[in-house]
Structure 1
Amino acid sequence: MKIRHLIASLLLLMACAAPLRAQWVGDTVSVPAFLNKEKNLIDFNGADWSPLFAEMDSLQNGSDSTARVVSIVHIGDSHIQAGYLTEAVRLPLQRRFGDAGRGLVVPLKLAKTNEPHDYSVVADGAWNFARCVGRKYSAYTPGIGGIAIVPRTNRIDLTVSTLSKTDDCEGFRRVRLFHEPTDSFPAVISEPYRVTGEARSPFLTCYSWNDPVCSIHFSGQIAPGEERLAIYGASLETGESGILYHTIGNNGAFYSSYAAIPHFAEQVAALAPRLIVISLGTNESFSTSLTRDELYKQIDAVVAPLQASCPQALILLTTPAECARRRTRWVKKRRRVYYSPNSRVTLVRETLKAYAADHHLACWDWYEVSGGKGSSTAWRKAGLMAYDRTHCTETGYRIQGEMLYRTLMNAYQDYVDNGVAQ
């Protein structure tokens, strides 16, 4: 059903002749000695990454005069939602191979959860929401980012901005808005902005313009009785050659959380990923009833549809680091809290590695790299892990991102040197 009389305007809120992104200073972080740096390798399990690295090489060398983009999608849980880990991978990749934009941003704050620090999605009026984890407003269906926001009235006022701690910002010339229904948002748009041909693609409408902006405003009116509009997220892009690194993270997410999102794989396919990184498993390790066979099936319920919808994409599975369980005991009639290593992380790690080997998918064993058994205590003592011994501090996540970036670049360099990546 179409949304009639929807008037959409894109307002230039902030623009500059040549906007620059305020970059996190110091991609190279101090890596603690207890990490197994010699184990920081990708096990390709026979997967051929040469086509991906060849595209990256052409970006770095500028051998192709046309604007080309290598799109990476990183899917995960709270470790990914915070944004620090993926930022520590994205920024150095873009400095080396070109900056194609901020990538997917999701209105997480409007869904009553935390949002990365470098963008903002704000709205006027009252909005309902749904999340792929939990049952809040379960009548609505989450989309590509694991959430949906739905206006309670027939008025839409939504502003998407890139943020900075300096006077600079990360400019963009192109927005791909993920939403449903998909055939009518917006109906009218004024120059110099235009809806491109992708407006007819499932799940998204694409806008582009000439000069970079740092903030954009969507507004419109939904006619009474028309189908309610659900917004899932937006990809912010420069229109230039380089890396697009899209982040999809949800606190408390399992593999089964993403498997339950209708058309999740098809929506990911709209981002045209060449590499999909999946960092899940921590929450599964806290489920005492989950068996190895059940977990294997849940992994497949996410990976198999992604492979079917994104045949051009390579897939990299990552294992979770050691975490700890919160326990209590009584000492002299007083209740004491303590933590002990979560032994079920081993089951999750082994299942992920087995699935990757069985299906010839690459695997990065972060459990081993981060220190293996007993490492959560070392991370906590070093101030790199939060009090719950499960989540990291900002610096801890940046270390993990740094190590992922290093192993990707080591594999890329092997390809450059030897012409083979597998």
Structure 2
Amino acid sequence: MKLRGFIVLFLCGVACVPGLLHAQLTGDTVSVPAFLNKEKNVIEFNGADWSPLFAEMDSLQSSTDSVPRIVSMVHIGDSHVQAGFLTEAVRLPLQRRFGDAGRGLVVPLKLAKTNEPHDYSVVADGAWNFARCVGRKYNAYTPGIGGIAIVPRSNRIDLTFSTLSKTDDCEGFRKVRLFHEPTDSFPAIISEPYRVTGEARNAFLTCYSWNDPVCSIHFSGQIAPGEERLAIYGASLETGESGILYHTIGNNGAFYSTYAAIPRFAEQVAALTPRLIIVSLGTNESFSTALTRDELYKQIDAVVAPLRASCPQAVVLLTTPAECARRRTRWVKRRRRVYYSPNSRVDLVRETIKAYAADHRLACWDWYEVAGGKGSSTAWRKAGLMAYDRTHCTETGYRIQGEMLYRALMNMYQDYVDNGVAQ
């Protein structure tokens, strides 16, 4: 595949000055409700050694090297992750403590007709087709690392990635790693001072870097006549400074099997060089009444095993889903009434995830237990932290989950700092 006359332009919504490079969304302050099991908020290492990860995180706070040090983390999940509130509540305090290496992976979700986190935008001119990893009607193209692919209907590309903020600041970035359909000729032409770098070069990844921070990057170019359309998967937006990169990959309705079906998914995740991979799936599996424990165990392995093989430098954290509820109906005096009852199959999913983690010496965070265990979905709903469907949380509910995950990570990190061992 070849592109002709491809250039990259940068557009800033506000003045792009070095002082804005560290600007971050602060998010909303949340308080943790009393019905959570705070004493259960621990990570079970199951024999996994996290000392190398914590050592690298520790070095970020004392490093004086001129070469940036990056600790990359990847969080993979379903609709709970796609919304972005949960992961933002983990990412921002990590970056405040250890350094901000950038927004990380952003995916053109809105262009694929689904919801997108509030702190970035991907906007395109012209008409584009798309594919999503969930839903049979979206299988005309192959999705990439973020579970999404967007493809221009014409031979013209006009695409803009921007960081957004609740304030007048922006999250500036000096580097972009663009994920796209595998090709050996992307892009054909690029003008100074914005340069293509050879860093981590492979068939589906092209890197760009420059000197001054910007808030927006615009890709504009012409696809050579007769060539197939170019699919774009997303981009990692980075500051070029030392710190944490926290990448989010979330898709509404996703199962473990969803990510196992994405071609070269583990290889693309490996391009982010993660030191920590968090997998938060299982809610959708709990609504599949035909799924057996053995089948689920195999589906977990179909995702986790390739990730471990492709990312040997990474530790893996599996998380369990919280209790949710099933929508049911009954007739009362000839009237159809809707009610909700706890989804008992969450227990099967939770125990299978915990068993897989224990069998393979992987860490596990039991969010089911931390969130309150049996009957907790009713408490979350009454507290206004769970949506009407008793499956999804409100924004505040997700921020509480993120806060608890951050606390669990930091408690384990502090144990390492105090004792020198994380196992």
Which amino acid in structure 2 is aligned with residue 399 of structure 1? I
Q: SS of the residue aligned with 1:354?
A: helix
Does structure 1 retain, via aligned residues, the 8 Å contact 2:31–2:400?
Answer: yes
Following superposition of structure 1 onto structure 2, how do residues 15-414 of structure 1 map, counting pairs within 5 Å?
Answer: 15-18=15-18, 19-20=20-21, 22-25=23-26, 29-62=30-63, 64-198=65-199, 200-414=201-415
Equivalent residue for 1:8?
7
Does structure 1 retain, via aligned residues, the 8 Å contact 2:21–2:213?
Answer: no
Which amino acid in structure 1 is aligned with residue 275 of structure 2? R
Inter-partner Cα distance in structure 1 for 2:158 and 2:25: 31
Deviation at 1:233, TM superposition (A): 0.4
Does structure 2 retain, via aligned residues, the 8 Å contact 1:20–1:168?
Answer: no
Does structure 1 retain, via aligned residues, the 8 Å contact 2:104–2:245?
Answer: yes
Deviation at 1:253, TM superposition (A): 0.1
Inter-partner Cα distance in structure 1 for 2:94 and 2:138: 38
Distance 1:20 1:68, change over 3 A: closer
- Paired residues, what number? 421
Distance 1:22 1:187, change over 3 A: same
Deviation at 1:224, TM superposition (A): 1.9
Distance 1:350 1:199, change over 3 A: closer
Inter-partner Cα distance in structure 2 for 1:346 and 1:63: 48
Does structure 2 retain, via aligned residues, the 8 Å contact 1:22–1:165?
Answer: no
The 10-residue stretch of structure 1 (20-29 or 255-264) with the greater mean CA deviation from structure 2: 20-29
Inter-partner Cα distance in structure 1 for 2:60 and 2:346: 38
Inter-partner Cα distance in structure 1 for 2:35 and 2:200: 50
Deviation at 1:22, TM superposition (A): 5.0
Inter-partner Cα distance in structure 2 for 1:166 and 1:21: 13
> What are the Cα deviations for residues 290-323 of structure 1, in whole angstroms up to 9, with x where unaligned?
0000000000000000011000010000000000
The 10-residue stretch of structure 1 (161-170 or 286-295) with the greater mean CA deviation from structure 2: 161-170
Distance 1:161 1:17, change over 3 A: same
Deviation at 1:65, TM superposition (A): 4.5
Inter-partner Cα distance in structure 2 for 1:135 and 1:145: 17
Q: SS of the residue aligned with 2:211?
A: strand
Unaligned runs of 5+ in 1: none
Q: SS of the residue aligned with 1:198?
A: strand
Does structure 1 retain, via aligned residues, the 8 Å contact 2:27–2:89?
Answer: no
Which amino acid in structure 1 is aligned with residue 56 of structure 2? E
Q: SS of the residue aligned with 1:195?
A: strand
> What are the Cα deviations for residues 66-94 of structure 1, in whole angstroms up to 9, with x where unaligned?
31000000000000000000000000000
Inter-partner Cα distance in structure 1 for 2:256 and 2:223: 35
Does structure 1 retain, via aligned residues, the 8 Å contact 2:8–2:217?
Answer: no
Inter-partner Cα distance in structure 2 for 1:411 and 1:210: 37
Distance 1:148 1:4, change over 3 A: closer
Inter-partner Cα distance in structure 1 for 2:395 and 2:50: 30
Inter-partner Cα distance in structure 1 for 2:270 and 2:370: 30
Deviation at 1:10, TM superposition (A): 2.3
Inter-partner Cα distance in structure 2 for 1:142 and 1:10: 26
Does structure 2 retain, via aligned residues, the 8 Å contact 1:82–1:116?
Answer: yes
Inter-partner Cα distance in structure 2 for 1:234 and 1:224: 25
Deviation at 1:180, TM superposition (A): 1.1
Identity of aligned residues (%): 88
Deviation at 1:11, TM superposition (A): 2.7
Q: Which runs of 4+ in 1 moved over 4 A?
A: none
Pairwise CA RMSD? 1.2
Q: SS of the residue aligned with 1:13?
A: coil
Q: SS of the residue aligned with 2:188?
A: coil
TM-score (norm: length of structure 1): 0.98
Deviation at 1:158, TM superposition (A): 0.1
Inter-partner Cα distance in structure 1 for 2:25 and 2:2: 42
